[in-house]
Every structure is written in C-alpha cells, then in structure tokens.
Chain A
C-alpha cells in the first residue's frame, strides 16, 4: 500500500466532472457558472492561439478555450456543451467557455491537494466511481496575465506538462 505524502490535505468540496474525449476531469464547482448548448462562435483576428473565438451569452462575450488540446494532445471532435467557468485575474473575474464532449456531473467529495511533482495544471486529485480524476487549475490551462507571468518566471514550464505523480494516484485509488 502506498502512503500519501505527509503534506496531503483532504478537503470536502463540490466538483463538476467534465468529459474531454476519453478522459474525465474535475473543476471546483465554485468556478463553474453554467453548462450551455454550443452556440455560434464569433471569430475575429487576434494573436492568442489558445482562444478560438467568443460566444455571446446573455449579452456577455465569452472567450472559448479548448483545453482538451493541452490535456489530451488533440482538440475535441465532438462538442456537446460549453462549460462556462470563471477565472480570477487579480481582482477581476473573467469568464471562459470550455468545450466538453459529454454530460457533466456534480459531485461532493474530498480532494487531495496536488504535490510539487504534479503538473502545474493539476490543483488536486479526487477519487470517484473507481477513477482517479485530476482537478484542473484553469489559470494554467487558459491564457491570461498570471499564466504568462508564471511561464516567464519558470521557463521549464514552457516545454509542456510534467508527468503526474503516480504515487499519489495510487494512494487515491
């Protein structure tokens, strides 16, 4: 049996489980605003490759970021919904639409916080339905000033994600 690292902290929270292709991920429910059917994507010239365009939702223009590309190495083929999530940039709260390929599920469970060996996009781990699921850190997966500052400070992160800490996964499963 593998023992969890001594700094592991378990915190009970609500999470939204989302499907991106073959894999499931989780986001803190507090970051999720709503799940909407895919709507028209408005595209205009820009130089932010991680942003595909914007959708118009209740008068608000929300950028779309396909994080499956970064997590699975390929864009989603089927988009069933847009998960509207919030991101905080300093004092400003911003929205981002994340295409997902299946139904989302709200669960309440304990999260084990990520360790120093985990990829920067992993905020923690949770165990649900026999699966070990990464809890995503949106600030790393979607572009923004904080992410850029972090990348500049640590050029090693530029090369991609580090492999996940296997022993933590074992501890949870």
Chain B
C-alpha cells in the first residue's frame, strides 16, 4: 500500500499588521503589539497632565489598572508636523499609549526586511524594519522604541511630581473652611 501522506511546501511566515497614519505618513505595527485602540475623545477625561515632563512628545499619562502609561505623540516622536490625533493605541508589554491620526487598514506582512546598516540614527530603535505592500515601502515600528529607559526615568519623576501636586490639591480642598 502506498503512503498517502502528501508533502506540503512550508508556508511563509506571515504577520498581521495595522497600517496607521501620522501626519500624512503611513507606518505599520504588528497587531499583536496593540492591546487596545481607543478614540482620543474617549480617554480625554482619564488622562493626567504632566506639566513637569521634559520629554516634548509626552504631555499626559493615563492609568490602566495598576500601571501608568505615557501618552506619546507619534508625530513628535518621528519629528513630523503634528496634526490633531484621533486615536490612541495602547501598546502591549510597554508603558506607551500612542497618539496617531488614524488607521488605514489591516494587512498581512509576509516579509520584513531589516533596516539597512546605512541607517545609523535613532531610526534603528524606531523600526523593526521595512516591508513592501502593494509596491509601497512601509516602515514597521518597534513598540519598545517609543520610550527609552532614560525617558521613562524622567517621566516617572514627572509623574511623581504630578501625583504629589494632585494629592496636595485634594488635601487642601478637603480641609474645612
């Protein structure tokens, strides 16, 4: 009896990505990296000002359970002219909530090309690489690349100052006249 097993060609590895817009520029992010997408209007009441933040791209934070996430303006992060953002991506396994202009579409990426070594700037932290979709090149962002460790340290200090100020305001407001 002949074996009926059929040898199948290995399937190329694919990855679901979200194409999103920031100041007219299209980027991609792995959909597995995005925990939640909310509209800016939806989170407006929950965001806390960080007036002491020295990181220009971060002006607000937001509490998610027991964690504080920092709201990063993607346009400022990439050095683009900021436009009014409409959506926030809460990024999985990071302290980043990313302000973007909008989602273009979902797509499947079958090939990710590492950034050429000719690129020697901050972009090496920003991007996982480049992909080509419909004859267009799209940079695929690195979720961990939006905030460095040193930036997080500065933001934690700004957050502490904001919390202290909020507690002080609450305490003084609660005192009887």
Contact present for B132 and A56 (CB under 8 Å): yes
Least Cβ distance of B123 to chain A in Å? 4
Give Cα A50–Cα B132 distance, bound, in whole angstroms.
22
Contact present for A144 and B118 (CB under 8 Å): yes
Instruction: Write out the residue numbers on chain B whose beta carbons fall within 8 Å of the beta carbon of A54.
Output: 116, 130, 137
Interface residues of B in 88-127 (CB under 8 A from A): 111, 113, 116-123, 126
Give Cα A96–Cα B116 distance, bound, in whole angstroms.
9
If A56-B137, A60-B113, A61-B113 touch, whether A46 touches B132 (CB-CB below 8 Å) is: no
Interface residues of A in 75-94 (CB under 8 A from B): 87, 89, 92, 94
Contact present for A61 and B132 (CB under 8 Å): yes
Instruction: Write out the residue numbers on chain A whose beta carbons fall within 8 Å of the beta carbon of B116.
Output: 54, 61-63, 94-96
The chain B residue sitting closest to A54, CB to CB, is B137
Q: Apart from A56-B137, A144-B117, what are 10 other A-B pairs with CB-CB below 8 Å?
A: A45-B126, A46-B121, A47-B122, A54-B130, A56-B132, A56-B135, A59-B132, A61-B130, A143-B118, A143-B119
Contact present for B119 and A145 (CB under 8 Å): no
Instruction: Write out the residue numbers on chain B whose beta carbons fall within 8 Å of the beta carbon of A96.
Output: 116, 118
Give Cα A47–Cα B145 distance, bound, in whole angstroms.
14
Instruction: Write out the residue numbers on chain B whose beta carbons fall within 8 Å of the beta carbon of A51.
Output: 118-119
Interface residues of A in 27-64 (CB under 8 A from B): 42, 44-48, 50-51, 54, 56, 59-63
Contact present for A48 and B123 (CB under 8 Å): yes
B: contact size bracket: 20 to 34
Least Cβ distance of A44 to chain B in Å? 5
Least Cβ distance of B72 to chain A in Å? 14
Instruction: Write out the residue numbers on chain B whose beta carbons fall within 8 Å of the beta carbon of A62.
Output: 116
A: contact size bracket: 20 to 34
Is B150 among interface residues, defined by CB-CB distance under 8 A?
no
The chain B residue sitting closest to A96, CB to CB, is B118
Q: Counting chain A CB atoms within 10 Å of each CB, which of B25, B118, B120, B126 scores highest?
A: B118
Least Cβ distance of A69 to chain B in Å? 15
- Top 3 nearest A-B pairs (CB, nearest first) are A47-B121, A42-B137, A45-B78
Is B79 among interface residues, defined by CB-CB distance under 8 A?
yes
- The number of residue pairs between A and B whose CB atoms lie closer than 8 Å in the complex comes to 70
Give Cα A142–Cα B120 distance, bound, in whole angstroms.
11
Give Cα A47–Cα B125 distance, bound, in whole angstroms.
11
Give Cα A56–Cα B135 distance, bound, in whole angstroms.
8
Task: Name 22 interchain pairs, CB-CB below 8 A, sorted by A.
Answer: A44-B25, A44-B27, A44-B139, A45-B78, A46-B126, A47-B79, A48-B119, A48-B121, A48-B123, A54-B130, A54-B137, A56-B135, A60-B113, A61-B130, A61-B137, A63-B116, A63-B118, A63-B119, A94-B117, A143-B120, A144-B118, A144-B120
Is A148 among interface residues, defined by CB-CB distance under 8 A?
yes
Is A65 among interface residues, defined by CB-CB distance under 8 A?
yes
Contact present for B121 and A42 (CB under 8 Å): no
Least Cβ distance of B28 to chain A in Å? 11
Contact present for A59 and B118 (CB under 8 Å): no
The chain A residue sitting closest to B117, CB to CB, is A89
